Structure 1
């Protein structure tokens, strides 16, 4: 598993970029620095760390001090004699100390606080991997959109050239006007698809900017010719074993179950006795004394006390008992949730592997389809120029060719996207994973300038 300390250290790398154009790793690093929900998650870890200190304070002594000063005045009205008045001040201060010597509840609560902090760390690590996944997926969605857009633009350019040629032929009377309508319908359909792709591109860029809080423009793309292999059965078993050990959802579920057992112990500790000690000192000074009636009186007093208290709980109306029974049911529920989480992760892992293997096979299949459609299109085009094939045949062949190109490009990007999701499911998605993916990538401009039909598929 990618340790949280290493993830956080990567997240706080100060990155400074001169423009919006970013590599995949740069986009991920900026997202780790700037993503608002991830920053909030880190704050949650820091906040939770103080709960440990709060619980630890129960083992430390409690010291308090107070001081008082009181002025009192009295006047008595008497008959047949002088009135009496009396005023005086009382001063005093005290210091007290108390110390818990033995309390099972405090011991268990301290352990629970540390466990809660550990759970929060794992959740933050999970959130970090989620942000890496979301940024990487959107990055490749943008590249997939670009590949489909290039193919669709090439198809539209071909359709516009044919439309211009057909309009000229209709004007010269070489072809019937009805054939023009087929070309127009095809051109409008392609233009509509291209418009939708433009909209999807803007949506992806907006999502990337939301994730990174930075206007990202990808600068890398996948190499045109890649060998994207299947995942073997033996490798699938290893991945499943890793996921059961390192998947963050499973770890959080396991820790939550552990916490339930600790909470049960906390509740059970309410039936155990506790022992505490206390000490106090008090000093009082009052000038309210009469030296005639109480000779030698000073008005000063000091008191000290030491105490040891043993508390034995007897009954609280049954609330502790019912709380204990409730926590037993909580354990049963969390055991079922842990089982469900493991089953869900297993299913997600197997689904990702099936998808990856399917995309791998599809890439090989689409390569053969493109080769066949390319040869078919060239043959039908020559036959159409000679007048032995119809316009409908040519348009159908062209649509099949460009459709196969789009499917081929989508399969490549979907393979990588599913691989990223697989790493997240296993629990090892990190900036190091992104660096490995970048080994499959080249500068995006070099791909953009190439023909939409890869050279290795024209033979």
Structure 2
């Protein structure tokens, strides 16, 4: 799985940069949009940086088990004045005081090494760092998969907004035709002013609906552009042919088994629990002894008033045992706190499992019901298409009028819109099911992208 996503990042680096450099409105397909989102989506870029930071937890934890080496250099200019009892040449006090002045330079060089030989605290920190890095990787995997859903949903929102606008245009055109018919009938004395006012009122509402639909389309495009990082005026539309994708897992229980093993959010919750358990070990280590190996090299030139003319070199090596006795109750307090946090992490794991199971069930059912709904709406589109053709023939025969054609065309537009929405929902559920199971890959994105083609 990791190799697949790395391969996709290379594709994005090669292809998505072209999208960035264009810097202008353009047509785009789903796969192109995904490649651009990997580079430009702020949420995903934040997740990348967060994961980069999270990988350092392993190194931070390991540093406590590795040796620390420190070098110190110091140089100082010293002036000293010493007052002491005066003595004669025999060393006998003379009753007075003698003052001595000294002016000298001191230099110190110190190199020290410390290596942990035994420390339960350092060991727990290392293991906890590994768990925290694994948690960060799992969270990044979850957010990478979330990008697929956010992008596909935004893509579908734009296309549905376009379909909705087409429907309201058809409604407005039908009402506008009705208004003209009412006006002609009123002029001939066959209609009423009430009919004209009623139609005009409906037309005004239809005009408002068109404006609202245009705003919705603009907002949907803006939301989509924020993800891909460029303005997009045209997206590939659904192909006319629409076949159901085969599923490797045919029952919910099989999907749940896969999700338990692969879902990154469940994995992240497990690593969070592991880190919380290691926090307990780290806290209780405050009661255990620590054994260190210490080595040092010190060289001093006139480093004090008593050694102002001496050049000293001291080499040392040894062990240091530290046995904690009492810390004011601090260790007991943080141990109790760590136990409570561990219990919370365990409850969070159960909550995550339940949430994933609910989402998995929802998308599994949505995928099943979408198939039935698509089939029914396809029949509706076919029937509406036949109705439009039949109505046009009736107009030629003088049985129907143009308003009937517009009404039947409006019904066809609504049926096509509902069918397209059902197909969008099916494709999104297809991806969401695999995201919940933790098995989504670039191949799944390519499969969904193949359902779209450039608009003619």
How would you bin the TM-score normalised by the shorter chain? Answer: 0.7 to 0.9
1:29 is aligned to 35
- Paired with 1:186 and 1:405, the residues of 2 have a C-alpha distance of 23
Give the C-alpha shift of residue 38 in structure 1: 1.8
Name which of structure 1's ranges 386-395 and 304-313 shifts more when overlaid on structure 2: 386-395
What is the alpha-carbon distance in structure 2 between the residues aligned to residue 365 and residue 235 of structure 1? 24
1:424 and 2:435 are equivalent in the alignment? yes
Relative to 1, partners in 2 of residues 1:87 and 1:158: Cα closer, same or farther, differing over 3 Å?
Answer: same
Unaligned runs of 5+ in 2: 87-93
CA 1:190 to 1:429, structure 2 compared with 1: closer, same or farther past 3 Å? Answer: farther
Equivalent position to 2:103, from 85, 88, 93: 88
User: Is the alpha carbon distance of 1:364 and 1:76 closer, same or farther for their aligned partners in structure 2, counting shifts above 3 Å?
Assistant: closer
Q: Which residue of 2 aligns with 1:266?
A: 282
Which of residues 59, 65, 71 is equivalent to 2:72? 65
Cα distance change of structure 1 residues 120 and 6 upon mapping to structure 2, 3 Å threshold: farther
Does residue 158 in structure 1 map to residue 174 in structure 2? yes
Determine the C-alpha separation between the residues in 2 that align with 1:354 and 1:381: 41
Map of 2:329 onto structure 1: 318
Kept in 1, the 8 Å contact 2:29–2:453? The answer is: no
Equivalent of 1:138 in 154, 160, 171: 154
Matched, 1:406 2:422: no
Which piece of structure 1 moves more, 271-280 or 395-404?
395-404
Answer with 10-19 or 342-351: which moved more: 10-19
- Alignment counterpart, residue 449 of structure 2, candidates 438, 447, 456: 438
How far, CA to CA, are the matches of 2:192 and 2:402 in structure 1?
Answer: 11
What is the alpha-carbon root mean square deviation over aligned residues? 3.7
Report which stretch shifted further, 251-260 or 277-286: 277-286
Is residue 114 of structure 1 aligned with residue 130 of structure 2?
Answer: yes
Q: Match for 2:256 among 214, 220, 240?
A: 240
Q: State whether structure 2 residue 359 is matched by structure 1 residue 345.
A: no
Q: Distance in 2 between matches of 1:230 and 1:179?
A: 54
The 1:92/1:401 distance shift into structure 2, 3 A limit, reads closer
- Give the equivalent residue in structure 2 for 1:452: none
The 8 Å contact of residues 163 and 183 in structure 1, kept in 2 or not, is answered as yes
- Residues 259-313 of structure 1, C-alpha deviation per residue, up to 9 Å, x if partnerless? 11221222232222211122334344449999xxxxxx96444444333111222
Shift of 1:365: 2.1
Which residue is equivalent to 1:293? none
Distance 1:427 1:75, change over 3 A: closer
Q: Residue 354 of structure 1 corresponds to which residue in structure 2? A: 365
Contact 1:155 1:190 in 2 (8 A): yes
**Paired residues of 1:260 and 1:327 also in contact (CA < 8 A):** yes
Q: Are the aligned partners of 2:174 and 2:406 in contact in 1 as well (CA < 8 Å)?
A: no
Name 2:89's counterpart in structure 1: none
Following superposition, the deviation at residue 110 of structure 1 comes to 1.6
Secondary structure of the residue that 1:12 maps to in structure 2? helix
Please give the per-residue CA displacement for 1:177-232, whole angstroms capped at 9, x wherever unaligned. Answer: 43334433443333332222111110111101211221123431112342447979
Cα distance, 1:342 vs structure 2: 0.8
Alpha-carbon distance in 2 for matches of 1:373, 1:441: 23
Between 253-262 and 184-193, the greater mean CA deviation after superposition? 184-193
Deviation, structure 1 residue 133: 1.7
Q: Structure 1 pair 399/301, CA: closer, same or farther in 2 (3 Å)?
A: closer
Gaps of 5+ in 1: 291-296, 446-459
After superposition, what is the alpha-carbon deviation per residue over 1:320-360, rounded to whole angstroms, capped at 9, x for unaligned?
12322322222222111111111111111111122232232
**Contact residue 230 and residue 356 of structure 1 kept, 8 A:** no
Which of 41, 53, 63 aligns to 2:59? It is: 53
Q: Is the 8 A contact 1:101 1:276 kept in 2?
A: yes
Paired residue total: 439
Q: In the aligned structure 1, how far is the partner of 2:304 from the partner of 2:394?
A: 126
**Change in CA separation of 1:288 and 1:111 when aligned onto 2, cut-off 3 Å:** closer
Further displaced range: 226-235 or 363-372: 226-235
Provide Cα deviations, 1:423-447, integer angstroms capped at 9, x if missing partner: 32222334332211122222223xx
User: Residues 259 and 51 (structure 1 numbering): CA distance in 2 closer, same or farther, change over 3 Å?
Assistant: closer
Instruction: Determine the structure 2 residue equivalent to 1:328.
Output: 339
Larger displacement relative to structure 2 (338-347 or 122-131): 122-131
Are 2:52 and 1:41 aligned?
no
The alpha-carbon deviation at position 246 of structure 1 amounts to: 1.8
In 2, Cα distance between the equivalents of 1:347 and 1:76? 87
CA contact (8 A) 2:174 2:403 kept: no
Counterpart CA distance in 2 for 1:279 and 1:417 is 63
Match of 1:224, SS state, is coil
How is 1:135-284 mapped onto 2 (pairs within 5 angstroms)?
Answer: 135-228=151-244, 234-284=250-300
Does structure 1 conserve the Cα–Cα contact (< 8 Å) formed by 2:388 and 2:405? yes
3-state SS of paired residue (2:55): helix
| Deviation for aligned residue 1:124 | 1.8
